[in-house]
Structure 1
Amino acid sequence: MGPVGASNLKPREFTTIKVSMSPELRVIKRYEVSPPPGTVDDSTLSLTYLDLLWLKNGSVERVFFYPLAVSVSHFIDSVVPTLKSSLSAALRHFYPLAGKIRSSAASSDGYEIHYADGDSVPFTVAEYSGDFDDLSSDHPRLFNDMLPLLPELPESSIDNNGIRLLALQATLFPERGVAVGISVHHSACDGSSSTRFLSAWASACAGAGVMVPPVIDRSMITDPDDLYSVFLNGIVRRQSNTSMMHLKAPPDAVLQSFTIGKYHIQKLKELVAQSGDLSFRCSTVVAAFAYVWVCHFKARLPEISNKCILMAMAGDCRPWLKPPVPAAFFGNCITFAFTEAKACDLEKENGVAAAARLIGKAVQVFKENPLKDAKHWPGGFKIEKEPDFLTVAGSPTFKVYNLDFGWGRPKKVEITSIAKTGAISVAESRQEEGGVEIGLVRPKAEMQLFEKHFYDGLKMFE
């Protein structure tokens, strides 16, 4: 592979994987891409307690759809070489992603990311017979038809060869478009860091050069309360490795996207403002989360009608830690804002306003102390998959619709790993400034209920 990196796997050419009756994925070639030889020294990077939270949770997966009308031969001859060389350039700065998580050589209870010269990232090039326009749309799509677009992290373990952290795939829909899929182990980094890596790769591919290098210094995350031991004993040692497997959604599960436009966001804010304390300023994100939380709850009736329902929002705590951590810090630096409500309160006419105030209060507590009650988080991880516990993945601040590999902005971006947890995904609207895009994976019947509540509610503002 020359300067791109050494290949540790024999390329498998033109392998056909049957997904269902149709469509089919044809693997054209598998590569192993490394940082340019000799550019990165061997190194170890200790996991922090914020990394440890995700050690047994496996990968976060996203897929970016780009319109690109090229043939298979043009894709292989002209597009793929640029993708490979730019990926190598980006990995020079984000080299931990080419390494592996292993047990620490210095501590029996520790874990670290180890990188050695020549370590690599699996990069698959494929062709898919699916309908590009259908899969990159907003309407309900069979979720399992998305899975072939996502690379799986190679099987590995902490005790033997270590856990690999990143896998990538570029899939061509001939004469229609390209899907760029990413699977990144959450214990390596959070969404902010992985998006910075993708931005660096895209920027290098487009010829704009690699972006500002990340800050790779885990000593910035201090641990005066020994949360490392709390999370090690309360989460890592109580979870089995099966939670790291690539899970599939039920056969009837569908992925669907919903957009709350700028107009409706403003109307939701006004609704919240009219319902009580005028000093409470409802943000765009809080308004969107509140509305979706209520729609989610209504779609689950009567399953959770008599329960206390919970919501957990992961938030970037870089600016809120003491001392603050740079925005370019590479690793995990997210904690949680938790809130709960009685189901009957959200069922009322002013349910959205009530939800917004609860979420707003939780966000404020998060900003004041992102680590408040952190010792109790292991209990939250045990119930996060319950139907009355809604979690959020992604953020409008990531600006995923700005990622341009030289082919223009993506038509669609999906966080597909939400199928594992039942979470909702959140991104900025690709249609207009100030809007919010929401993604869900649900059984078809439940999705239809959610859709009805979502659009019926917005019609009230017309």
Structure 2
Amino acid sequence: MSHVRDHESVKIIERCQVSPPQNSIPTTSIPISFLDIPWLYISPIQRIFFHEFPFPTQTFLQTLIPKLKHSLSITLQHFIPFASNLVYPPKPHFPYFLYQDGDSIPFTIAESTTNFDHLISDSPKHVTDLHPFVPTLFSPHTSEDGTRYIPLMAIQVTILPNNGFALCVSFHHVVGDGRAFHHFMKFWSSLCSKNGDSTSLEASVPLPFHNRDIIQDPKGLLKLKMMENMWNSPTPSKEFAVVYTDMVRATFVLNPDQIERLKKWVIAKCSNSDHFKTLHISTFVVTSSLIWVCFVRSEEIIGYDVPNDDELYHLIFLADCRNHHEVSIPSTYFGNCLGYRTVTMKRSELVGNNAIVEAVRAIECQVRDVQSDPFKGLDTMTPEHEGRVVSGHGVVIASSPKQGVYETNFGSGKPKMTEVVHIDSSKSIAFSDCRDNEGGVEVGLALGRIQMNNFTSIMKKYLSDITNLNH
């Protein structure tokens, strides 16, 4: 074991590799589907889970760490792509996932003196407070013929003595979407809580479905066209620079009662319009409308340049298309199965008196559109897509309340908090289910401290006004 102090609040206890059980998997090659291609150059996903475990470090090392490693090894046997490399050969060959016996993922064990209650609180904390808990993915390497081999996952478990632990996973989106990742996490945590006994596990957490040939190219040449877009676009050499000075992250909880009141308020506002009467006012539609409007309005900071009212703002959301009636992809499919849509509105509409209702109309229209044609527009996605969102007036809704992130129990109870770490560098807003309110929504976002204060005040005012109008 090595004892190296990497950060003032984190001490590395051990760095090791975890692989599937030896000789349990033959050499396996899995092709990418056209639904994986848009995510080839996206920056790594980083999700952290904070769990309570009120024991000293030595107890943790002797009890839970061996279970975590053993259950992870068995889990990787079933979720092969995470233990694989993405093999990216030169044009005209397509990338694919390759597992060879002995392939493994880096697993880091650390210890931190950071205050546990501070880490799991909803209130604003500096974004860099979470960075020491994030594992680093191994760098890609390139063979003589120009083929790149890209490792896909890394895990770090950080012990917070006598309080709990932080388990953070970094992975490349190209290997799978949020639904696939949380399937992996629930399988691993369930196996760990059963001390590695998988005999009764499948009834509660089914095995993943790996056959990517089930993804049918609706236009025949879509996969080739999308890869041509990638080949013809400049490969990002590194992640864009982010300045974290005075940037904070916070979690906002909308409980079921607030969501229902918001729906009723929107329906009442729309009652005199025949067009609005046909709208499906879902939890996602009203929540994303409220958050987007508050986000845009919070930019009005004294001394800052505020865009003019005709400037266009964009909200990008992703939709899980498993079990869609046109594609018939099973819920256990492991890979990417996402449609996406961009909602575009003028700033004047998002700061006007009827802003939330106008946002509801625009977002609901795109939700219906993705339901009718889930994969429309995928062939236009390129590596520059994320860059345009980050640099312009765009924001992405990441994750979903339907993923059940609080169902991840390693034997010490459900998480006390879970967060999407990379929202501080990707201009994203994270939605998840609620740890304490079934049917509620947790919203995580990262902003400058002044803008965060503005956002908080604006959102509280909206929720207060809507509550009063419903009485």
* TM-superposed deviation, 1:319: 2.1
Letter in 1 for 2:361: R
* Structure 1: gaps of 5 or more residues: 1-10
* TM-superposed deviation, 1:249: 5.0
Q: Report if the CA contact (8 A) 1:294-1:355 is conserved.
A: yes
Q: Please list, as runs of the form range in 1=range in 2, the aligned pairs for 1:290-369 lying within 5 A after superposition.
A: 290-301=289-300, 302-303=306-307, 305-320=309-324, 322-369=326-373
Whole-angstrom distance in 2 between the partners of 1:383 and 1:115:
34
Worse overlay, 154-163 or 191-200: 154-163
Q: CA 1:286 to 1:157, structure 2 compared with 1: closer, same or farther past 3 Å? A: farther
* TM-superposed deviation, 1:310: 1.1
Letter in 2 for 1:124: T
Which residue of structure 2 aligns with residue 126 of structure 1?
Answer: 110
Q: Please list, as runs of the form range in 1=range in 2, the aligned pairs for 1:249-264 lying within 5 A after superposition.
A: 250-264=244-258
Q: Report if the CA contact (8 A) 1:52-1:236 is conserved.
A: no
Q: Please list, as runs of the form range in 1=range in 2, the aligned pairs for 1:193-212 lying within 5 A after superposition.
A: 193-207=180-194, 209=198, 210=201, 211-212=205-206
Q: Match for 1:42 among 20, 24, 27?
A: 27
Q: CA 1:223 to 1:118, structure 2 compared with 1: closer, same or farther past 3 Å? A: same
Whole-angstrom distance in 2 between the partners of 1:127 and 1:160:
37
Which residue of structure 2 aligns with residue 3 of structure 1?
Answer: none
The C-alpha deviation readout for 1:36-55, integer Å capped at 9, x for no partner, is: 11111111111122211111
Whole-angstrom distance in 1 between the partners of 2:165 and 2:294:
33
Whole-angstrom distance in 2 between the partners of 1:327 and 1:178:
30
* TM-superposed deviation, 1:368: 0.5
Letter in 2 for 1:458: L
Identical counterparts, % of pairs: 27
Q: Report if the CA contact (8 A) 2:42-2:386 is conserved.
A: no
Q: Report if the CA contact (8 A) 2:88-2:147 is conserved.
A: no
Which residue of structure 2 aligns with residue 170 of structure 1?
Answer: 157
* Structure 2: gaps of 5 or more residues: 271-275, 301-305
Letter in 2 for 1:269: K
Letter in 2 for 1:350: N
The C-alpha deviation readout for 1:335-364, integer Å capped at 9, x for no partner, is: 202211121112222211111111111001
Worse overlay, 298-307 or 40-49: 298-307
Q: CA 1:248 to 1:412, structure 2 compared with 1: closer, same or farther past 3 Å? A: farther
Whole-angstrom distance in 2 between the partners of 1:249 and 1:213:
41
SS at structure 1 position matched to 2:36: helix
* TM-superposed deviation, 1:393: 0.6
SS at structure 2 position matched to 1:84: helix
Q: CA 1:439 to 1:99, structure 2 compared with 1: closer, same or farther past 3 Å? A: same
Which residue of structure 1 aligns with residue 273 of structure 2?
Answer: none
Q: Report if the CA contact (8 A) 1:424-1:439 is conserved.
A: yes
* TM-superposed deviation, 1:132: 1.0
SS at structure 1 position matched to 2:103: coil
Number of residue pairs aligned between Structure 1 and Structure 2: 445
Whole-angstrom distance in 2 between the partners of 1:314 and 1:249:
27
Whole-angstrom distance in 2 between the partners of 1:115 and 1:445:
48
Q: Please list, as runs of the form range in 1=range in 2, the aligned pairs for 1:128-143 lying within 5 A after superposition.
A: 128-143=112-127
Whole-angstrom distance in 2 between the partners of 1:310 and 1:246:
20
Which residue of structure 2 aligns with residue 6 of structure 1?
Answer: none
Which residue of structure 2 aligns with residue 15 of structure 1?
Answer: 4
Q: CA 1:304 to 1:179, structure 2 compared with 1: closer, same or farther past 3 Å? A: farther
The C-alpha deviation readout for 1:284-322, integer Å capped at 9, x for no partner, is: 111100100100110123236431211110110122263
Worse overlay, 320-329 or 114-123: 320-329
Q: Report if the CA contact (8 A) 2:339-2:376 is conserved.
A: no
* TM-superposed deviation, 1:71: 0.8
Whole-angstrom distance in 1 between the partners of 2:385 and 2:407:
34
Which residue of structure 1 aligns with residue 76 of structure 2?
Answer: 91
Q: Please list, as runs of the form range in 1=range in 2, the aligned pairs for 1:47-446 lying within 5 A after superposition.
A: 47-104=32-89, 108-157=92-141, 159=146, 162-207=149-194, 209=198, 210=201, 211-225=205-219, 226-235=221-230, 237-243=232-238, 245=239, 250-276=244-270, 277-301=276-300, 302-303=306-307, 305-320=309-324, 322-378=326-382, 380-446=385-451
Q: TM-score, normalising length from structure 1?
A: 0.92
Letter in 1 for 2:443: I
Q: Report if the CA contact (8 A) 2:313-2:345 is conserved.
A: yes
Q: CA 1:203 to 1:391, structure 2 compared with 1: closer, same or farther past 3 Å? A: same
The C-alpha deviation readout for 1:81-125, integer Å capped at 9, x for no partner, is: 0000000011110011101001259x7330001000111111110
Whole-angstrom distance in 1 between the partners of 2:387 and 2:156:
32
The C-alpha deviation readout for 1:237-283, integer Å capped at 9, x for no partner, is: 4243334x496551321111001111111111112211222232201
Whole-angstrom distance in 1 between the partners of 2:341 and 2:121:
31
SS at structure 2 position matched to 1:335: strand
Whole-angstrom distance in 2 between the partners of 1:117 and 1:181:
25
RMSD of aligned C-alpha atoms? Answer: 1.9
Q: Report if the CA contact (8 A) 2:38-2:381 is conserved.
A: no
* TM-superposed deviation, 1:173: 0.5
Q: Report if the CA contact (8 A) 1:144-1:249 is conserved.
A: no
Whole-angstrom distance in 2 between the partners of 1:115 and 1:203:
24
Q: TM-score, normalising length from structure 2?
A: 0.90
The C-alpha deviation readout for 1:347-406, integer Å capped at 9, x for no partner, is: 222211111111111001001001223333337445211341111110001110111000
SS at structure 2 position matched to 1:163: strand
Worse overlay, 415-424 or 273-282: 273-282
* TM-superposed deviation, 1:430: 1.4
Q: Report if the CA contact (8 A) 1:128-1:172 is conserved.
A: yes
Q: Report if the CA contact (8 A) 1:136-1:412 is conserved.
A: yes
Whole-angstrom distance in 2 between the partners of 1:151 and 1:237:
31
Whole-angstrom distance in 1 between the partners of 2:308 and 2:260:
29
Letter in 1 for 2:150: I
Letter in 1 for 2:107: F
Whole-angstrom distance in 2 between the partners of 1:98 and 1:119:
6
